Amino acid sequence: MIDLKNLTIRKAHEAMIRGDFSALDLVSAYIDQIEKRNGTVNAFLEVYADAKEQAQKADESFKQGTATLLTGIPIALKDNILFAGHKASASSKMLENFVAPYDATAVRKLKEMGTVFIGRTNMDEFAMGGSTENSAYGVTRNPWDESRVPGGSSGGSAAAIAMDGALVALGSDTGGSVRQPASLCGCVGLKPTYGSISRHGLMAMGSSFDQIGPITKTVDDTEILFEALKGADSLDSTSSYEDKREVLPKTMRIGISKNILDSDGLHPEVKNNFKKSLEKLTEMGYEIVDIELPNMSQALAVYYIIVPAEVSSNLARFDGVKYGLHVEGKDLLDDYVLTRREGFGKEVRRRIMLGTYVLSSGYYDAYYGKANALRSLIRKDFENALETVDVILTPTTPTPAFPIGEKSKDPLQMYLEDIFTVPASITGNPAISIPSGFTNDEKKLPLGIQFLARPYREDILFKVSKDFLGEI
Ligand code: GLN
């Protein structure tokens, strides 16, 4: 029996080098576990038919001595990341039978290192949502408490890790979709600096926000994946990477915005846990500094204007002509209307309507233009704050995992879940969510905290997070 609960990339790699188990044994152990739990959790939409074959190839590399650290490591892919020859549906009826014609750059890089793609994971349709209740293929349940949501939109990837259905996973984060489900499922989740992981082959939601990010059990595993995936890519003109690493100061300064603890809607368990985390960091020798983020209160509004605008433009390609669902109408216009009505779920249609509204002449200046101006101000706030501190700390989410159905009827309640995660997406800064304990009640639900750093300073996030978790 392989101890999947405590397995990390390095442990698995060493075990495969020693021959304790093969890549085929490893992927088979995960597939067994998926068979046990996926029936209720619904983290995976599909286990790839060639997963074992990929593992056999990885075993060949071990025999030939060409294995890398990622060879044979089973990874789960969010359903909006293209893996050539395999389905990718963005959990939408629109792309139910869509087969990826090419690899995302992230997938290509992992393939070259011998990673084993085990399956694709459920998500909110086109990554719009915070609970994985907006999938056309059923809700995903939180493995810690199956009556609750795993968070979203990468809820399938986070649940896959929490139920030991894969060693590591990839999600995508536009406003928190890696960090928020990681937090609600007790995992580590990184949204890297905007542009540092190529978006080529990631289905677009809000192109000036979208980033692929790892979801794992340990910070070290996240760091390994980030190192493997980062870098400018000629296929994504917005990608870039600058090595800004430098020796870290002995005493690091952590900024917190005082008003965070007074925010309305902050669950008492989250508040308590956040205070305890601060105490722990102080005891460890970190200096806690109050910072001002004057425009932070506008972040959610800015996000929910600019993202729908980008969504409405990005999703215009799903017209029933080029690819995906086609519903035949009486004329071309009717084809468009029927295809998009049938193919898209409620939340996606809501965002497209909101987006076209804020971009329409007469409203553009009042909404889109203003939101963009505020985006610059928020960016400036964070730049200023990060001149005096090394990282900024917040809770990842205002509440622990909530019951399925509790917020799905009220979009505004759902959007409030993103209050702490959208700022890093608006500004492009890197941010990581790490487990910070559990609720104190009998429910024992996982909680998380989030660190945010200057662009390209993921190294600081990894250092502070490893310290906090006692990872060496
Ligand atoms: N919950 C946010 C939204 O619905 C974030 C989604 C995401 O990061 N993909 O837009």
Rounded distance between C-alpha atoms, residue 145 and residue 443, angstroms: 8
**How many CA atoms, within 13 angstroms, populate the side-chain half-sphere of residue 359?**
15
State how far Cα 85 lies from the chain centre. Answer: 23
Closest CA to 198 of 242, 234, 157: 234
Please check whether residue 376 is in contact with residue 367, taking contact to mean a CB–CB distance below 8 angstroms: no
Are 99 and 87 in contact by the 8 Å Cβ rule? The answer is yes
- Could you read off the pLDDT of 123-175 as tens digits, one per residue? 999 999 999 999 999 999 999 999 999 999 999 999 999 999 999 999 999 99
- Pick the atom of ligand 1 nearest to 178's CA: 8
Quick one: average pLDDT of 433-444?
95
Handedness of CA 232, 233, 236, 237 (dihedral sign): positive
Q: Active-site residue among 22, 131, 177, 408?
A: 177
Gap from CA of 420 to ligand 1 centroid (Å): 12
Give residue ranges with CB within 6 A of ligand 1: 127-130, 153, 173-177, 205, 307, 418
Report whether 96 contacts 46 (CB < 8 A).
no
Q: Residue 470's closest CA among 303, 214, 259, 281?
A: 281
Q: For ligand 1, what atom is nearest to the CA of residue 307?
A: 10
Helix (H) or strand (E) holding 450: strand 446-452
Structure tokens at 173: 């984060």
User: Averaged over 110-121, what is the pLDDT?
Assistant: 98
H/E segment holding residue 172 = strand 168-173
Amino acid at 299: A
Banded model confidence at residue 265, pLDDT cuts 50, 70, 90: confident
What is the number of the ligand 1 atom nearest to the C-alpha of 418?
A: 1
Per-residue model confidence as pLDDT tens digits over 393-415: 999 999 999 999 999 999 999 99
Provide the pLDDT confidence category of residue 262 given band limits of 50, 70 and 90.
confident
With 0-12 / 13-18 / 19 or more C-beta atoms within 10 angstroms meaning exposed / middle / buried, residue 84 is middle
Shortest-distance atom of ligand 1 to CA 128: 4
Residues with Cβ < 8 Å from 263, sequence gap 6 or more? Answer: 398, 419
Residue 449: strand pairing partners? 395, 434
| Residue 172 designated active-site | no
Distance of CA 29 from the midpoint of ligand 1 (Å): 32
The phi and psi torsions of 50 (rounded to 5 degrees) equal: -100, 15
Q: Exactly one of 91, 153, 157, 196 is catalytic; which is it?
A: 153
Q: Active-site residue among 22, 78, 91, 277?
A: 78
- Which pLDDT value is given to residue 143? 98
Could you read off the pLDDT of 350-374 as tens digits, one per residue?
999 999 999 999 999 999 999 999 9
Q: What is the DSSP string of 144-189?
A: TBTTB---SSSHHHHHHHHTTS-SEEEEEESSSTTHHHHHHTT-EE
Does the annotation count 153 as an active-site position?
yes
Residues composing the chain: 472
Distance of CA 7 from the midpoint of ligand 1 (Å): 30
Q: What is the pLDDT of residues 311-361, one digit of tens each?
A: 999 999 999 998 899 999 999 999 999 999 999 999 999 999 999 999 999
Task: Tell me the two tokens of residue 418.
Answer: 């993103």
**Residue 248 Cα to ligand 1 middle (Å):** 32
Q: What per-residue confidence (pLDDT) applies to 259? A: 77
Lowest mean pLDDT among 41-50, 227-236, 248-257, 375-384: 248-257
- Per residue in 49-103, pLDDT tens? 999 999 999 999 999 999 999 999 999 999 999 999 999 999 999 999 999 999 9
Q: What is the pLDDT of residue 184?
A: 98
Pick the atom of ligand 1 nearest to 127's CA: 9
- Summarised one tens digit per residue, pLDDT across range 290-312 is 999 999 999 999 999 999 999 99
Q: Taking a C-beta distance cutoff of 8 angstroms, is the pair 149, 132 a contact?
A: yes
Distance 131 CA to ligand 1 centre (A): 9
261 CA from centroid of ligand 1 (Å) = 23
Q: What are phi and psi of 302, to 5 degrees?
A: -60, -45
pLDDT score of 258 more than 90? no
pLDDT at site 5: 98
Tens digit of pLDDT for each residue in 381-395? 999 999 999 999 999
Residue of 125, 126, 134, 177 with the most ligand 1 atoms within 8 Å of its CB, for mutation = 177
